[in-house]
Structure 1
Amino acid sequence: MALQPRAGNDALNVNPNMFNYYRSSDINITTHGSDWYWAVTAVMAAATIAFIATSFTVSRERRIFHYITAAITMTATIAYFTMASNLGYTPIAVEFQRSSPKVAGITREIFYVRYIDWFVTTPLLLLDLLLTAGMPWPTILYTIFLDEVMVITGLVGALVASSYKWGYFVIAMLALMGIAYNVVIVGLAHSRALGSTVNRTFMICGVWTIFLWFVYPIAWGLSEGGNIIAPDSEAVFYGVLDILAKPVFGAMLIIGHRNIDPATLGLHVRDYQTPPYNNAHANGRHIGSETEKDGVPAHNNHGVLQGSGSDANATTGIVGTHANQSAVGQTV
């Protein structure tokens, strides 16, 4: 006797064991869409050159954010070059067949290279942001994990032809909400502790990024998800978002970091010309007078700053770190 599936479980009926590898897609970009992708490619390439060029205006110890931001736009340049060349896509059967001639057809081209771009660049964007807030590495790594979940489930949903794609969409949205919480709530709490300059830079870039990231699901629902807008319109929608979320974000971040010492964030980058930290630094001691850097006071205790003490708010010998962090901070 053949086994019958459980009542109510129609997953095997909705997603049967049939694989249709379409040789072509019906709903595609036109020359206008390709031209737009080439334009975005040029913007991303120009931004990459600009970020790398401006890194030479600061010392090597202060270039970490220039390098991360340049890596973001460099990756996006490759992705947009691929899409402008009408490569990096696969035809997928649409769930909703529309009567409009711009989206009429059975299959739609889905640019999987876009998700490869996001898989690389969105963690770097979060790294830019969360390092600016001086957040601890466990929180940074967990937030990046949520981001990878969001990107991967978005890709899987785009490649699914049935209504099950919306299940992946919901998972991606839940991951996005977790990211937003860590950036807006947890991140702002950390940035406030590092002074007004750090807090202002993080707040501007963080709110900007999270707002844009909540617009991306709308673009997904109108294009890969619902097959409502044409691929050319999809190209413009995603392209504008990517320009705002990458080159514009990067410019705001780099400008904001002009007056921020990486050591304030717990980042200690040693150039080859700089001698290694000695035991006094490792023990959280620093000899010097009372100063204030980026809104974070360094308290004078007869010229010696001690890294230990019972006061939870006491600063260590390294500016910008707190008593609940290690004296050395985050070493890069």
Structure 2
Amino acid sequence: MVLQQLAAQSLAPTACTTIEEVGSTGVGALTITFLILAVSTIIFITRVGPATSQKVYYYCNVFICGLATMSYFAMLSGQGWTAVAGCRQFFYARYVDWTITTALIILELGLIAGAEPALIGGVMGADVIMIVGGYLGTVSIVTTVKWFWFVISMALFVVVLYALAVNFRDSALQKGNDRADVYGRLAWLTIVSWIFYPVVWLFSDGFASFSVSFEVCAYSILDIASKAIFGFMVMSAHGILETGTTMNQEYV
């Protein structure tokens, strides 16, 4: 009976005559973010060669910012989007980006913390399912199904945040106070910025309260913080990541 009701609700909606698309402000945000991520990628690439034990972190940063750059280029080029229920423009390209880059961020944090490979893999898996749940919630036509996917995604989000704040932190403490301090700064930047992603989702893809341009601007700021700034913080901590000694450099 329930399945029949859902099937009835999921009949194709009336075709959109107009679609709410990103405006000039949103396009400007996409352009600025693309440039910041592209320049960051180039800088990280130049640091891979001379790096020693930090090379793995720089590779992670290259792929994180590089994939995000490709995502923003696709959105700027008019690719990677479709119309969803409510005749709203939805950039699915960013979900392709997030599925890979957020897992890489977790991998990098796990490596910095010295966490067990099994734990890192488990958290990465939960993160991927979390992103997929958010995507399925956005493209769902039935309201009940949309919020079902959102709840699943948020349940896994709590698991990911707990692992970053507690499990990985415990591993970092075993590597010494200096390594733990570096991890703590990176982890809290990640946690705080990531908390705002579902908030933006709620008022854009969820309730459709935010305009598409405002949504794009908000995600752009969060992507810059969680990817580019994150990468430069890792790069500025190369002294501790290489030798475990006290870091003398200031954060970029």
State the TM-score, normalized to the length of structure 2: 0.91
Picking from 29, 35, 40, the partner of 1:36 is 29
More helix by percentage = 2
Partner of 1:268 in structure 2? none
Q: Distance in 2 between matches of 1:216 and 1:119?
A: 13
1:104-133 Cα shifts (integer Å, max 9, x gaps) = xxx001111010000110100001101111
Q: Distance in 2 between matches of 1:181 and 1:255?
A: 26
**Cα displacement (A) at 1:258:** 2.4
Equivalent residues of 1:88, 1:112 under 8 A apart:
yes
Cα RMSD, aligned residues only? 2.0
Aligned amino acid, residue 72 of structure 2: Y
Q: Distance in 2 between matches of 1:22 and 1:255?
A: 52
Partner of 2:88 in structure 1? 108
Q: Distance in 2 between matches of 1:168 and 1:110?
A: 17
Q: Distance in 2 between matches of 1:229 and 1:83?
A: 18
Q: Distance in 2 between matches of 1:128 and 1:224?
A: 29
Instruction: Decide whether aligned partners of structure 1 residues 228 and 109 sit closer, same or farther in structure 2, where only a CA change above 3 A counts.
Output: same
Q: Distance in 2 between matches of 1:241 and 1:166?
A: 23
Equivalent residues of 1:25, 1:91 under 8 A apart:
no
Partner of 1:123 in structure 2? 103
Instruction: Report SS of the residue matched to 1:215.
Output: helix
Tell me the percent identity. Answer: 26
Partner of 2:141 in structure 1? 161
Q: Distance in 1 between matches of 2:120 and 2:83?
A: 36
Q: How many residues align?
A: 245
Equivalent residues of 1:147, 1:176 under 8 A apart:
yes
Unpaired runs of 5+ residues, structure 2, are 247-252
Aligned amino acid, residue 43 of structure 2: A
1:249-289 Cα shifts (integer Å, max 9, x gaps) = 1111221232223xx8xxxxxxxxxxxxxxxxxxxxxxxxx
Q: Distance in 2 between matches of 1:73 and 1:19?
A: 37
Instruction: Decide whether aligned partners of structure 1 residues 21 and 131 sit closer, same or farther in structure 2, where only a CA change above 3 A counts.
Output: farther
Report 1 or 2 for greater relative contact order, CA contacts < 8 Å, sequence distance ≥ 6: 2
Q: Distance in 2 between matches of 1:243 and 1:131?
A: 22
Unpaired runs of 5+ residues, structure 1, are 95-106, 265-292, 296-332
Q: Distance in 1 between matches of 2:29 and 2:189?
A: 24
Q: Distance in 2 between matches of 1:189 and 1:90?
A: 43
1:154-194 Cα shifts (integer Å, max 9, x gaps) = 00001012212111111111111000111111111110010
Q: Distance in 2 between matches of 1:38 and 1:64?
A: 29
Q: Distance in 1 between matches of 2:174 and 2:44?
A: 28
Q: Distance in 2 between matches of 1:125 and 1:248?
A: 12
